[in-house]
Amino acid sequence: MSAPVLAIVRTGLVTAVGLTAPASCAAIRAKLSNPTETRYVDSNGEWIMAHQVPLEEPWCGRRKLLKMAARVIEECLADVPHSDWERIPLLLCVAERDRPGRFEGLDDLLFIELQREVNCKFSAESLALPHGRVSMGVALTGARNLLRQSDAPYVLIVATDSLLSWPTLSSYERNERLLTAANSNGFIPGEGAAALLVERADPHSELVCEGIGLATETAPITGEEPLRGEGLAHAIRAALAEAACQMHEVDFRITDIAGEQYYFKEATLALARVLRVTKEEFDIWHPAECIGESGAVAGMATIAVAAAACAKGYALGPRILCHAGNDTGQRAAVILQGRERL
């Protein structure tokens, strides 16, 4: 029995430029950005800039992850009766286990605290997915399997992450990964939360996930091998195969790229490997220019932006490729299809 095609029913998004999905996506569309000084300094004595989420209290660490995640859950499930929440599996996407400075308790305590925060015990099929930026591909695959195997009406995918801790920032700064006055080849760190409510697609679904591809790049940014873009290309081909389409039939791309040359080069190489028909234009959007490098939220944000673009009518076409990649080589690609309302 094949896995069902997924429909994206609703999104939630908390970023440095908006505390809801509509606000964040409108700011991203307008290319608004608001990096501010953190309380940390780099090796040159300059304040490290970051895209910080402005909440009502100065929470930090796992507590802030909790508060941001609760916001996107409530936004995403606003139209679902609270009494039905316990039937919904929650897939909680967090930072990969080997990321420098990772907060403690993300695989267990955060899940327990989050259920307490929203006053709901989600389905027993819920679980945490510590896969960083590629969590969106892993979670959508898991959601497909859950909807095929169970009678759950929906699956809720939630990502929450922050790079704003000294152990994390100092590690990236030492390795010349941060964008600073002395380093133009870097990213501005960020934080946030994102959520997707998905269900089995039907003829009335307005945005569906047609294909998912997962792969591994053998020359990650942390390695020494020459980059050829084969891992991302393989993920894209797998997603295209599931969607039964070719690369030239995709209208535009949305990616998690946050500013580093390595990932722009990878996207270019992967495109050259997969695209076999010339396209005059093939735009690529990268929301991280507005919300920063936000870890596990980055991949999910690409889908939230795609959903807003389709709903508001500014998408460059109905078929969208979203892709993301972790520093250690994991790659994910997703093909989305926007449909006209019936």
Classify residue 145 as exposed, middle or buried by CB count within 10 Å of its CB (0-12, 13-18, 19+). Answer: middle
Is the domain spanning 208-338 CATH 3.90.180.10? The answer is: no
pLDDT score of 193 more than 90: yes
Identical fold between 6-200 and 208-338: yes
CB atoms under 10 Å from CB of 202, counted, come to: 10
Round to whole Å and give the CA distance between 111 and 96: 15
Kindly indicate the confidence band of residue 342, based on its pLDDT and cuts at 50, 70 and 90: very low
What single string gives the DSSP state of each residue in 101-121?
TPPTTTTTHHHHHHHHHTT--
Given a contact cutoff of 8 angstroms between Cβ atoms, the answer to whether 303 and 8 are in contact is yes
Classify residue 97 as exposed, middle or buried by CB count within 10 Å of its CB (0-12, 13-18, 19+). Answer: exposed
Q: Average pLDDT, stretch 324-341?
A: 93
Round to whole Å and give the CA distance between 58 and 111: 21
Tell which residue, 158, 92, 154, 162, has the closest CA to residue 128.
Answer: 92
Structural class in CATH, domain 6-200? alpha beta
Per residue in 137-158, pLDDT tens? Answer: 999 999 999 999 988 999 999 9
Given a contact cutoff of 8 angstroms between Cβ atoms, the answer to whether 321 and 305 are in contact is no
Tell which residue, 90, 88, 84, has the closest CA to residue 114.
Answer: 90
* 305 phi/psi in degrees, rounded to 5: -65, -40
Handedness of CA 100, 103, 105, 110 (dihedral sign): negative
Pair type for strands 155-162 and 207-216: unpaired
Round to whole Å and give the CA distance between 130 and 303: 19
Domain boundaries, the chain: 6-200, 208-338
pLDDT confidence of residue 341: 61
pLDDT score of 1 more than 60: no
Per residue in 236-276, pLDDT tens? Answer: 999 999 999 999 999 999 999 999 999 999 999 999 999 99
Half-sphere exposure of 26 (CA within 13 A, CB side): 6
DSSP 185: S
